Structure 1
Amino acid sequence: MGNTVAIVGGGYGGAALARELDPDLDVVLIDPKDAFVHAVAALRGLVDEEWARRIYFGYDGLFIRGRHVRDRAVAVDTGGVTTADGTRIHADYVVLATGSSYPYPAKPDTEDSADSVLRHADTRAQLAASSRVLLLGAGPVGLELAGEITERWPRTKVIVVDPAEDVLGGRYLPELRGALREQLAQRGVRLELGSALTAPPSSPAGVHEPFSVTTEAGVRIEADLWFRCYGMTPLSDMLTGELAAARRPDGHVEVDEHLRVAGTPNVFAIGDVTAVPEPKRSKAASEHAVTVAANIKALATGRPVEQTYRPGPDAVLVPLGSTGGASQVPGPDGPVVLGAAETSGYKGADLLLGRFSELFGVSV
């Protein structure tokens, strides 16, 4: 087979794969954004002006021989990619790394980094003017955002609502949930769990406009601003031909143990868009990239694919601002819960910025 690899999507998995394959193959990275977005740090960028500018990395830093095509893929098949402007990119190998959409501010909703910085600045001003903030969703995003807001504005009252009976969701230890609940209580965060809202807020998300809502349990909540902190949607509607058959009703794409799509010999998928049964995290996407890089290199040199991917144990790092939080990580005898200091050391203080600065060849 030939040497051209079309990677659709420049997020965590796509960027890591492009960097890995670039020295040996002709890589074309297709993404409508002008820069990689370090979404792990997006919530801190919301509350901190300096961080808002630090979460973007130009794609040029990935390449020696490859290139970035700034356009949206509208059709992906076994022979290549067609973009929104009608350009056809023929490829010997295609990798779907489109990731997922998620409500702002967990993921910026603009394709231009300068516009995104301005959007963050506007929302930051709206937040600064708010004394009560409602967050819908008590998963990792909702808890992290509660931590960032209360660290930046300690007097702001944050209310978190979720129909689930406890925070976080997923298959995590009770000790982890307990540690997070305790730290949130110390920050004055109010948890309203086990009951959904009877109707969404009347004002737009992220806009300072006082409102009141009621939970199905009859609890009335008044706030000045709100955000939706749930609703991940895989981005896979550009699959055509035989690839479309691999797309599940929920949008996730079925892959085999080699991360190939629909049993095709030359099309792979990595990251959030896959149906791999594991939490959708940046770490998993980067590990997918390692597997697919090895398999594409094997195919390019006439060897069969051999590298397989197996989901790891459930793990999560949940910082609450730069100094708080709790985590669950694998240990020698099973999962281990880490407290605020360890979580800050792993993620909270720098939000992995150094790791991705290195990937893109720039200094922090």
Structure 2
Amino acid sequence: GERVSNLDELTFGLCGEYVVKTEQGNEFPAQLVFRTTAVDDKGRLKVDDHLRVEGQEDIYAIGDICGTEDPNLAYVAREQANLVYANLAAATASDQTTKPWAQNALPMKIALAVGSQRAIGLTASGDLAPEPHIIGFKSRDLMSGMIWESMGLKSP
């Protein structure tokens, strides 16, 4: 990680056109900037077992920026998003029962599309995943269909 040198020039949490400058002289264009001090040694946001950013009750982190030990895969981010969604819904309901994220508990470690007709995958137990299964959810459209469907939209 690099320390930001122009914090006083940035507006946090609002969309705009920014240039984040570091003490090492690097510059990064950004449209949205968040201030956070809760980062781990890999530069990811520290989260609790419900994927809330450390020290924040109402801010969640999922996917690659999330400081869990899970692999950085779209599949993991999607499952984390599903959990956060379910927990937000539960928190606003009368029972308010939420579930923690179980790190490294997903059945797949990796799924790799090799064109639209071939694929290979590795399960969490280290076994090869059945190719038809991987083709079904990854190779056909690189999971874009699932993303469109999750938003209630028809894939183009």
TM-score, structure 1 normalization: 0.32
Q: Which runs of 5+ in 1 are unaligned?
A: 1-72, 76-80, 87-234
Equivalents in 1 of 2:97, 2:50: separation in Å? 7
In structure 2, the residue corresponding to 1:325 is in which secondary structure? strand
Q: Which residue type is aligned with residue 273 of structure 1? A: I
Corresponding residue for 1:288? 80
TM-score, structure 2 normalization: 0.67
Larger Rg: 1
Instruction: Give the C-alpha shift of residue 280 in structure 1.
Output: 0.9
Aligned residues: 132
1:318 to 91, 99, 112: 112
1:344 to 126, 135, 152: 135
Q: CA 1:304–1:321 in structure 2 vs 1: closer, same or farther (change >3 Å)?
A: same
How large is the Cα RMSD of the aligned pairs? Answer: 3.1
Instruction: Give the C-alpha shift of residue 342 in structure 1.
Output: 4.6
Equivalents in 2 of 1:302, 1:83: separation in Å? 34
Instruction: Give the C-alpha shift of residue 307 in structure 1.
Output: 1.8
Instruction: Give the C-alpha shift of residue 287 in structure 1.
Output: 1.3
Listed one character per residue, the Cα deviations across residues 254-284 of structure 1 (whole Å, up to 9, x for unaligned) are 1000111113221211111101101111111
Corresponding residue for 2:145? 354
Q: Which runs of 5+ in 2 are unaligned?
A: 1-9, 19-29
Percent identical pairs in the alignment equals 23
In structure 2, the residue corresponding to 1:294 is in which secondary structure? helix
In structure 2, the residue corresponding to 1:338 is in which secondary structure? coil
Q: CA 1:290–1:356 in structure 2 vs 1: closer, same or farther (change >3 Å)?
A: closer
Aligned pair 1:238/2:30, yes or no?
Answer: no
Listed one character per residue, the Cα deviations across residues 194-216 of structure 1 (whole Å, up to 9, x for unaligned) are xxxxxxxxxxxxxxxxxxxxxxx
Equivalents in 1 of 2:89, 2:132: separation in Å? 41
Listed one character per residue, the Cα deviations across residues 190-247 of structure 1 (whole Å, up to 9, x for unaligned) are xxxxxxxxxxxxxxxxxxxxxxxxxxxxxxxxxxxxxxxxxxxxx9x9332xxx2212
Corresponding residue for 2:7? none
In structure 2, the residue corresponding to 1:246 is in which secondary structure? coil
**Conservation of the 8 A alpha-carbon contact between 2:14 and 2:33:** no
